[in-house]
């Protein structure tokens, strides 16, 4: 991907060297990859739906304290520059898209952390992966996740990394459009449909990431293989693939994010059209 460092960091909160503590509180944390794998295993072993606890109950968790690490900070600087570029570019893109619809886009913040972090949605650990908290309108990411994405999930490349962040910004767009609030209300009315609604919400965020990808293609920011990297990342985090990795089996009733095929399909739908209207996963 063609990009250059030096963009505005006004929307970045660097909390990598801060400590955190506490336990999960009820709220809207979107479960990440590592956390989903762990809860899937626990659900199958103990025959309980631990995934539902993230959004409905209070779950205690230990809290490690991050230590200042100047060497690691220096090593991560190129990645910080890259995620800063992606954040700025996605938000600039959505500002233009929503402005064309006479809507105002308000910027999300990106919080960089290590190990554990407190958010308005509760305390999350790095194992839970990147997530968006609608209560404070911030995206949270431990940059070490990108190593896991490349090594454990087999999705290397800078556009794979960009897809992850663009997906989380997609959740912020859902908050602005009122989609997140409607889904939350629908879950309250019909708890048995919570997983299906979660899947539709996640697939729409994938499609929104594709809409941004379309914009980068139009501006000739993409290089050979970038789209394939994005599709590979989408496939890598499908519920069916994660469940096979964790247990060797697939349980569609517990899906919360969609299959690899679905995630690739909806990312591609947004990428090919560049149109928000093509992202109605709730039809």
- Is the model's pLDDT at 238 over the cut of 80? yes
Q: What is the pLDDT of residue 176?
A: 98
Task: Give me the mean pLDDT over the 56-72 stretch.
Answer: 53
- Is the model's pLDDT at 156 over the cut of 60? yes
Q: What is the pLDDT of residue 23?
A: 32
Q: What is the pLDDT of residue 71?
A: 84
What is the per-residue pLDDT across 241-266, written as a single tens digit (0 to 9) for each?
999 999 999 999 999 999 999 999 99
d(CA 6, CA 46): 49
d(CA 67, CA 70): 10
- Is the model's pLDDT at 19 over the cut of 70? no
- Is the model's pLDDT at 153 over the cut of 60? yes
Residue-averaged pLDDT of the chain: 87
What is the band of 36 on the pLDDT scale with cuts at 50, 70, 90?
A: low
Q: 143, 158, 230: which is closest to 1 by C-alpha?
A: 158
d(CA 177, CA 104): 10
Q: 215, 218, 187: which is closest to 200 by C-alpha?
A: 187
- Is the model's pLDDT at 59 over the cut of 50? no
Q: What is the pLDDT of residue 76?
A: 93
What is the per-residue pLDDT across 68-106, written as a single tens digit (0 to 9) for each?
678 888 899 999 999 999 999 999 999 999 999 999 999
């Amino acid at each position: 991907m063609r990009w250059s460092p030096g963009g505005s960091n006004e929307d970045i909160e660097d909390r990598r060297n801060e400590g955190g503590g506490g336990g999960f509180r009820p709220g809207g944390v979107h479960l990440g990859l590592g956390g989903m794998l762990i809860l899937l295993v626990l659900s199958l072993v103990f025959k309980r739906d631990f995934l539902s606890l993230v959004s409905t109950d209070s779950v205690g968790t230990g809290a490690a304290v991050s230590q200042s690490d100047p060497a690691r900070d220096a090593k991560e600087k190129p990645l910080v520059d890259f995620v800063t570029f992606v954040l700025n570019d996605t938000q600039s893109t959505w500002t233009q898209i929503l402005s064309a619809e006479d809507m105002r886009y308000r910027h999300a913040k990106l919080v960089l952390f290590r190990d554990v972090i407190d958010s308005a949605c509760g305390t999350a650990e790095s194992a839970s992966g990147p997530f968006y908290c609608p209560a404070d309108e911030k995206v949270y990411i431990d940059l070490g996740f990108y190593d896991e994405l490349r090594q454990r999930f087999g999705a290397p490349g800078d556009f794979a990394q960009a897809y992850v962040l663009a997906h989380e910004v997609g959740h912020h767009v859902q908050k602005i459009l009122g989609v997140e609030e409607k889904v939350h209300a629908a879950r309250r009315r019909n708890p048995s449909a919570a997983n299906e609604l979660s899947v539709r919400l996640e697939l729409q965020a994938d499609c929104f990431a594709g809409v941004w990808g379309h914009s980068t293609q139009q501006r000739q920011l993409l290089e050979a293989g970038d789209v394939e990297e994005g599709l590979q990342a989408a496939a890598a985090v499908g519920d069916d693939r994660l469940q096979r990795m964790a247990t060797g089996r697939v349980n569609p009733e517990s899906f919360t994010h969609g299959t690899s095929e679905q995630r690739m399909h909806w990312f591609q739908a947004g990428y090919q059209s560049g149109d928000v209207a093509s992202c109605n996963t709730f039809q």
